[in-house]
Amino acid sequence: MKVFKVTMEKLRLSSDPKRTALLVFYIALPVLPLLALFYQNSNSGLFEGLISKNKVLEGRKPQFGTATVLHGKARNFTGAKDVSFANTSNIPIDHKKLLDGLLAPGYDEGSCLSRYRSYLYRKGSTHKPSSYLISKLRKYEDLHRKCGPHTRHYNRTIGKLIKQNHMNVTTSCNYIVWIATNGLGNRILSMASAFLYAMLTNRVLLVKFQNDMLGLFCEPFLNSSWESPKKFPSMNDHHKNFETYESLLKNDKESNTSRKSWPSILQLDLQHHSSDENGQFFHCDHSQALLGKVPALILSTDQYFVPSLFMVPSFKKVLNKMFPEKDTVFHHLGHYLFHPSNDAWGLITRFYQAYMDKADERIGVQIRVFHPELTTFQIMMKEILECTLQNKVLPELDTQKSVASSWKNRTSKSVLVTSLFPEYAESLRAMYWTTPTVTGDVIGVYQPSHEGKQKFSDNIHNMKAWAEIYLLSLCDVLVTSSESTFGYAAQSLGGLKPWILYKNLGNENPPLCQRAFSMEPCFHFPTTCDCDGKTKLDVASVFPHMRHCEDYDTGVKLVDNHD
């Protein structure tokens, strides 16, 4: 302003027209280009863009995991490609980081690197969460902050619950405590089921992790924990005799009048081997009304029981609004709940960058042999090759030549093999090393680990398993083993419909594999009874959006309308 005033004073004092014109020219010279640019781009918001750009660039350096654009391609500083960038270049990075609103902002990114960086390693999902699901998640987060471990409401409630045989307890917060059973795949699927049930019944989900589950996942809820404190009652408290779901239904059935007292804690066993036949009535509104009177449920299950929730009449309306696409339930809940811890994320990203990142196509082959004493390596390998070659998942070999004939437009394919045994990956690797492909494609075969057998109560084993599930979910094409919850979790996280290898029990001429019709996991042991207890049900024909599983005849899975 001072310079401007001095200049104007000089202009007034000057009587020389040439001098005046010269001064005006020098004042206007720096301003004219900016005015011209602004005028030319007035409809495109350039001015606002320049301000935003300056705010972003001022004093900032590129951070790990931040996407940048070079010659029309998106790359991040981890070296991973954003393969979906061509279709989402106009979508703000923050929106992609939050998975279209599925995740809430505000977490400390350093404490869980995978939460906001996973989108850099996978294709953008074509399945978007509904606005109603997002609103339900935000409401649940508020409830968890209010009633989660060590809050005032939690401390007050736990004081009432730990009193042995305390009946008719009134609490401001209700809980469902998930107990780990069976392998990691079963646990992941059952946790997602328990979380959905918690949202539907206005309960807080707490998980009881043993040592073999510690450090696998990040905390999913902002400013709170989902891990159950040691003082919370569980079925491991052998000195306490909690009422069971079976006895609850039995007593209700035998009572001539409406029951007057309710337990404060109840055991709910929904495991596949459970002898509790009353578990058949879990899908009935009457059963849900009884369970709704109990403040704390201790859930033991190894099943993906989400389809049974779609059978409950009182849940249907809410579930339909939450999931307009019925085959996306685990896809969305899995992305919301299960973020690899920093240790697990390190395993995942290091392997991905070393062996999968630069490939034009990533193929996952998950091999689970349930009965190695009946299924020989030769028989299983024959089935894998017939499935992958006939369905063009892998290219055929050119046995007439020793050198690939095609060098132009060839593609590289990274084949990720997950198995307890090393022989399958070694055989595929040798096959594509010694013989060129008819397409000229370059095939690399990689296997992260081969543990020999499934190890229970082993934290390192579960860490590797979780990393492999996640790596499979980052593939473009999947081949999985029938009945494997490990494969189910991977396909649903990846939003993929895999080729399913049939369970082979020694058949030398195995049938060709089948393409999955839904990316949802299979619920192996659904109900077979109507709520009257007299009528037998074929659930797949009675309830909409359900079909019998491709790999388990008596099981059911959710399918979308167009399927």
pLDDT at 412: 94
What's the pLDDT at 410?
81
Q: Which position has the higher pLDDT, 376 or 507?
A: 376
Written as one letter, the residue type at 377 is F
12-21, 296-305, 337-346: least confidently modelled range:
12-21
Cβ-based neighbour number of residue 556 at 10 Å: 26
Rounded percentage of the chain residues whose pLDDT exceeds 90: 58
pLDDT digits (tens, 9 = 90+) for 39-60: 333 333 322 232 233 332 233 2
The average confidence (pLDDT) of the chain is 81
Paired tokens of 158 = 């736990």
Residue 362 one-letter amino acid: R
Q: Which pLDDT value is given to residue 308?
A: 95
SS3 320: helix
Burial (0-12, 13-18, 19+ Cβ within 10 Å), 308? buried
Tokens 């980052």 locate to: 474
pTM score of the predicted model:
0.82
Per-residue pLDDT averaged across 463-470, rounded? 97
Q: Which of 466, 462, 490 is nearest to 210 (CA)?
A: 462
Name the 3-class secondary structure at 484.
coil
pLDDT at position 41, please?
36
Question: Computed from CA positions of residues 65, 67, 68, 70, in that sequence, does the dihedral angle turn out positive or negative?
Answer: positive
Distance CA 197, CA 62 (A): 42
CA 226 remoteness from chain centre = 17
At 217, is the secondary structure helix, strand, or coil? Answer: strand
CA–CA separation, 193 and 370 (whole Å)? 25
21-35, 163-177, 357-371, 507-521, range with greatest mean pLDDT = 357-371
CB 331, CB 492: distance < 8 Å = yes
**146: which 2 tokens?**
């209010």
Digit-coded pLDDT (tens) for 483-499: 999 999 999 999 999 99
Residue 327, SS3?
helix
DSSP line for 249-306: HHHHHH-SS-----BSEEEEE--TT---GGGGGTTSHHHHHHHTT-SEEEEE--S--H
What's the rounded mean pLDDT across residues 346-369? 96
Q: Which domains does the chain have, with CATH numbers?
A: 2-57 (no CATH), 69-121 (no CATH), 131-324 (no CATH), 342-525 (3.40.50.11350)
Residue 5 has pLDDT above 80, yes or no: no
Q: What is the DSSP letter of 508?
A: S
Q: How many CB atoms lie within 10 A of CB 442?
A: 17
* Amino acid at position 133, single letter: L
- Which residue shows structure tokens 């779901």? 245
Q: What Cα–Cα distance (Å) separates residue 382 from each residue in 23, 446, 501?
A: 88, 19, 11
